[in-house]
């Protein structure tokens, strides 16, 4: 629907005006900024994610489990909180360098997690075969291990790219204009102007390019093992003299990605002339966030069930289209969905405008893919034969669903809901545009304080945002499921 909105608006503007809106230096500048940052961050997160995953999974690094926990932990710190933490320590980091560093430190777990999961599942026999053929460690890694990591690596990098295209809060704080921040600026000046919509069109195109590139790169190779193989862990690589440098590097990443935000946050909590502790407002924002996130999670997960059901149990072109279209929606930044829903609701159904229901609908559009991926994994593992058995024992379709299928997919429903909950609780742009009168969430309150440079006042909201994100992060750490493919939200 938001796609339809952007497309229809583009038609309304007309080609001549559209060309005038797009063929201007500012667009070139934004395009350069957006693409440079996306490519640089995807490369950096990929390199960092793989290196860290290998160090933790495949070497004799001391305290590996602890490091694993610490390396995943930054997922619980939304990127815009991270940006705030850095900027409030030193404004000198604004611009490309700062944006690149902060975004990389915020998003590398999106690559790290799936790569770790993949490394754990690899059959070491392949590597041992390569050794026995006289290949060196390095060459084996390059020719045997790395190709097998490809889907995890690509999936992670794709997510980083999509997150980055939609990232607003962190980049706005770090003063690095991209399409998303420019759309928001235009929205602030014109509410629903042609320029904002034209930019939204470019942004959506960029997202689609990324999705297509991912599909092409992934190809249709098969990565599954033939036969069971033995699920053993590979022999860890002895680091020897490299032990200290590797340890120092991993430690440095943890300090930068976790230590700095923690330090900055605590500092602002304690100090800051503008720090009061407005308990009432904090509680109200927390309650609104929890209620919205809960409602959104339930609605989104329920909406995911039929999509998945069709995709898995009734394969056909229609169900494929439905499922794939939810992935396209995954490439829609919150700002575009927000813009589309504001206009659509005002024009078509003014009754729902500025209601909680519309906001929840926006969340469902934005985060349905996350739920679909997770629930789908659950349903695919629920054998059809059990349904058949149940039918043969005389149970109807509904009863079967209730007594056989639902219990089987309940864990994945829970995981999907948790993911959506996490995404909603840190969503910023669509919430800013659509929230009902008098409702503010943790994210919007944090944003209003930090963008006015009231760093002390922003701190308690930032802390609560982190706390709200922790449970889902823990859940992600403990799972090897495709849930690890979807993660925190682009603000």
Question: Partners of 237 in the beta sheet?
Answer: 59
In 3D space, the residue among 168, 242, 179 whose CA is nearest the CA of residue 209 turns out to be 179
Closest CB 95 distance from another protein, rounded Å = 11
Residue with smaller CB distance to another protein, 124 or 411: 411
Closest CB 357 distance from another protein, rounded Å = 6
In 3D space, the residue among 110, 65, 72 whose CA is nearest the CA of residue 473 turns out to be 72
Residue with smaller CB distance to another protein, 388 or 452: 452
Closest CB 325 distance from another protein, rounded Å = 25
Residue with smaller CB distance to another protein, 211 or 337: 337
Interatomic CA distance for residues 32 and 25, integer angstroms: 11
Q: Which residue has the tokens 């849930």?
A: 483
CA distances to 8, 341, 344, 435 from 192, in Å: 14, 11, 11, 17
| Lookup: tokens for 451 | 């963008």
Q: Helices 260-270 and 455-478 sit at what angle, rounded to 10 degrees?
A: 140
Cα Rg for the chain, rounded, in angstroms?
A: 23
Tell me the three state secondary structure of residue 122.
coil
Residue with smaller CB distance to another protein, 154 or 424: 424
* Cα 175–Cα 180–Cα 184 angle in degrees, nearest 5: 85
| Lookup: tokens for 390 | 């149940």
Residue with smaller CB distance to another protein, 119 or 418: 418
Closest CB 474 distance from another protein, rounded Å = 9
Interface with another protein (CB under 8 A): 24-26, 29, 91, 172-173, 175, 182, 185-193, 195, 273, 288, 291-292, 294-295, 297-299, 342-343, 346, 350, 353-357, 360, 406-407, 410-411, 413-415, 418, 436-439, 448, 451-453, 475, 478-479
Residue with smaller CB distance to another protein, 66 or 410: 410
Closest CB 69 distance from another protein, rounded Å = 16
Closest CB 91 distance from another protein, rounded Å = 7
Residue with smaller CB distance to another protein, 210 or 472: 472
Closest CB 280 distance from another protein, rounded Å = 12
CA distances to 26, 252, 434 from 20, in Å: 11, 47, 29
């Amino acid at each position: 629907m938001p796609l339809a909105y952007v497309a229809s608006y583009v038609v309304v503007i007309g080609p001549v005006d559209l060309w005038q809106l797009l063929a201007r230096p500012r667009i070139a500048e934004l395009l350069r900024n957006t693409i440079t940052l996306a490519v640089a961050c995807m490369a950096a997160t990929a390199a960092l994610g793989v290196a860290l995953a290998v160090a933790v999974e495949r070497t004799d690094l001391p305290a590996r489990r602890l490091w694993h926990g610490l390396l995943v932990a930054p997922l619980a710190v939304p990127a815009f909180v991270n940006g705030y933490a850095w900027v409030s320590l030193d404004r000198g980091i604004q611009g490309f360098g700062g944006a690149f560093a902060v975004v990389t430190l915020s998003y590398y777990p999106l690559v790290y997690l799936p790569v770790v999961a993949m490394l754990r599942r690899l059959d070491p026999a392949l590597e041992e075969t390569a050794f026995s053929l006289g290949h060196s460690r390095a060459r084996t890694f390059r020719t045997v291990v790395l190709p097998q990591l490809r889907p995890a690596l690509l999936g992670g990098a794709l997510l980083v790219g999509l997150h980055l295209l939609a990232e607003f809060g962190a980049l706005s704080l770090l003063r690095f204009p991209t399409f998303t921040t420019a759309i928001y600026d235009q929205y602030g000046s014109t509410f629903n102007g042609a320029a904002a919509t034209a930019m939204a069109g470019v942004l959506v195109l960029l997202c689609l390019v990324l999705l297509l590139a991912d599909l092409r790169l992934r190809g249709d190779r098969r990565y599954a093992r033939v036969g069971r193989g033995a699920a053993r862990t590979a022999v860890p690589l002895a680091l020897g003299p490299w032990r200290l440098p590797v340890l120092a590097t991993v430690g440095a990443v943890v300090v930068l990605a976790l230590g700095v935000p923690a330090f900055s946050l605590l500092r602002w909590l304690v100090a800051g002339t503008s720090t009061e502790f407005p308990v009432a407002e904090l509680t109200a924002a927390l309650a609104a966030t929890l209620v919205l996130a809960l409602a959104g999670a339930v609605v989104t997960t329920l909406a995911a069930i039929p999509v998945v059901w069709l995709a898995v149990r009734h394969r056909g072109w229609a169900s494929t289209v439905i499922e794939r279209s939810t992935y396209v929606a995954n490439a829609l930044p919150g700002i575009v969905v927000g813009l589309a829903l504001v206009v659509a609701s005002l024009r078509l159904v003014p009754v729902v405008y500025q209601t909680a229901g519309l906001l929840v609908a926006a969340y469902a559009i934005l985060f349905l893919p996350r739920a679909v991926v997770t629930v789908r994994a659950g349903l695919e593992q629920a054998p059809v034969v059990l349904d058949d058995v149940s039918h043969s024992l005389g149970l109807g379709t509904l009863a079967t669903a209730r007594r056989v299928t639902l219990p089987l997919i309940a864990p994945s429903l829970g995981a999907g809901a948790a993911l959506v909950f996490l995404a909603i609780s840190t969503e910023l742009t669509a919430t800013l545009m659509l929230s009902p009168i008098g409702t503010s969430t943790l994210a919007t309150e944090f944003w209003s304080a930090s963008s006015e440079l009231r760093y002390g006042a922003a701190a308690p909201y930032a802390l609560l945002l982190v706390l709200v994100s922790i449970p889902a992060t823990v859940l992600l750490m403990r799972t090897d499921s495709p849930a690890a493919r979807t993660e925190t939200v682009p603000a």
